[in-house]
Amino acid sequence: MSETPAPPVSDEGQDSDRDLSIEEYGHRAYVGPMAEFDVGAARQFNLLTMLLGLREYHHFLEIGCGSLRAGRLLIPYLMPDRYCGLEPNRWLVEAGLAKETGHDLKECRRPIFLHNSDFALRPFERVFDYILAQSIFSHTSQAQMATCLREAKAVLGPDGLFAASFHEGEEDYDGDAWVYPESVTFRFETVERIAAEAGLRCEALAWGNQNMQRWVVFRHADAEGAVAEFSDLSAAQAEIAVLRGRLESMERKGVSPADLVRMQERLRFVGEHPALQDALAKDPALHEAVFGAVSVTRPAR
Ligand SMILES: C[S@@+](CC[C@H](N)C(=O)[O-])C[C@H]1O[C@@H](n2cnc3c(N)ncnc32)[C@H](O)[C@@H]1O
C-alpha cells in the first residue's frame, strides 16, 4: 500500500453531536468516528492496562497506529523508548504528534515509528511484551493478516500478548487487497486458523469495541494460561458504564434516528453477553438505565 495523502472518512460511523471541523480533525476522521476518538482511546488503554497488565516498563508495539488515538494515552504512560508504532501513512502520525500528543512528548518519551506497509516488524529490532492492532484486521486480506501474524510471532516475547480487533462475520473476505475505508469480515474460526498457521493461539475476549468489532488476544501456541476467563465481567462493567453515559447524554439532547440505531446495535451486542445479563437480571435500576431510557426492543434470543 502506498501512502494515502487525503483523508477519506472511515465508514465506521460519524457522530453529529460534536462541532469538530474536518479540516482540523481529519486525522481523527481517517481512523474512525471523529467524536469517539477519546473513548476509542480509553477502551484500548483500559484493555491493555487493566485487563492485560501492560506496565510502563513493557516494550509495546502498535500496528497501524494511525493518528495516535491510543498513542496519546500510551506514549505518556510508557517509559521512554518503549512505544513503537507502525503506520504506513506518515501524515497521520505527524498529525497525531502535532495535534494530539504535542511534540514535547516526542522529546520526552521518544516513541519510535516505522512507516512500511508490508507488516515488517523485525526492523524495530526488539522483542515486544505487548502488541496492539485495533481495527487493522477489519481491513486486511487473509494473506496480509497471515503476514502480520507471522511477523508478530517473530517479535513477540515468550509471554507476550497481542491484542487485535476484527469484524466478526459469517463470511470471510477472500479478496487480495487492503480495503479502506470500508471494512471486511472474517469468521472467528478463520482468524484462529490463520493464527495457528503462524504459530499463535487465538482467544476471544469480551471487551467492548466502538465499531462492534471482536477483540482477540494472540499468544504463542505453547504459552500457558488463558486471559479470556477474567475478561468477561470487567468487559461487561466497562460496557455498562459507557452505555449509561451515552443514554444519559441521549436523553438530555434528544435522539437522532442514526444514533438510536447505533445504540440498539450496541445494546444487542452487549445484551447478549452472559455476564451482563446476570447483572441486568439482578439490578432493576441498571436494567432501567440500560434498556429503559430509550425505546429499545431487546432482541429475541
Ligand atoms: C481504522 S484505522 C485504525 C488506526 C488505529 N489503530 C486506531 O485505532 O486509531 C486503520 C489504520 O491502519 C493503517 N494501515 C493501512 N495499511 C496498513 C498496513 N499495511 N500496515 C499497517 N497499518 C496500515 C491506516 O493508515 C490506518 O491508520
Span 174-187, pLDDT tens digits: 999 999 999 999 99
* Residue, of 295 and 194, whose pLDDT is higher: 194
Residues with Cβ < 8 Å from 191, sequence gap 6 or more? 137, 145, 166, 202, 216
Which atom of ligand 1 is found nearest the CA of 181? 1
The whole-chain average pLDDT of the chain stands at 82
**CA-proximal residue: ligand 1, atom 18 (nearest):** 117
**pLDDT score for 285:** 67
Q: Give the best-scoring range by mean pLDDT among 2-16, 72-86, 93-107, 227-241.
A: 72-86
Give yes or no for residue 294 having a pLDDT over 50: no
* Residue, of 237 and 61, whose pLDDT is higher: 61
Of the given ranges (18-22, 233-237, 251-255), which has the lowest mean pLDDT? 233-237
Give yes or no for residue 131 having a pLDDT over 60: yes
**pLDDT score for 124:** 98
Give yes or no for residue 21 having a pLDDT over 90: no
- The alpha carbon of 275 and the centre of ligand 1 are apart by a number of angstroms equal to 32
Domains of the chain: 22-228 (3.40.50.150), 232-292 (no CATH)
* Residue, of 12 and 185, whose pLDDT is higher: 185
| Residue that is written with C-alpha cell 483523508 in the block | 7
* Residue, of 183 and 22, whose pLDDT is higher: 183
Q: Name every protein residue with a CB atom under 6 angstroms from any ligand 1 atom.
A: 1, 10, 31-32, 63-66, 69, 86-89, 92, 117, 119, 134-136, 178
- Alpha helix locations (H) across the chain? 22-29, 37-46, 71-77, 90-96, 103-109, 142-155, 188-197, 231-253, 257-271, 274-282, 284-287
Q: Give tens-digit pLDDT for 252-283.
A: 667 776 776 666 666 666 666 665 666 667 77
Q: Is the dihedral of CA 166, 171, 174, 175 positive or negative?
A: negative
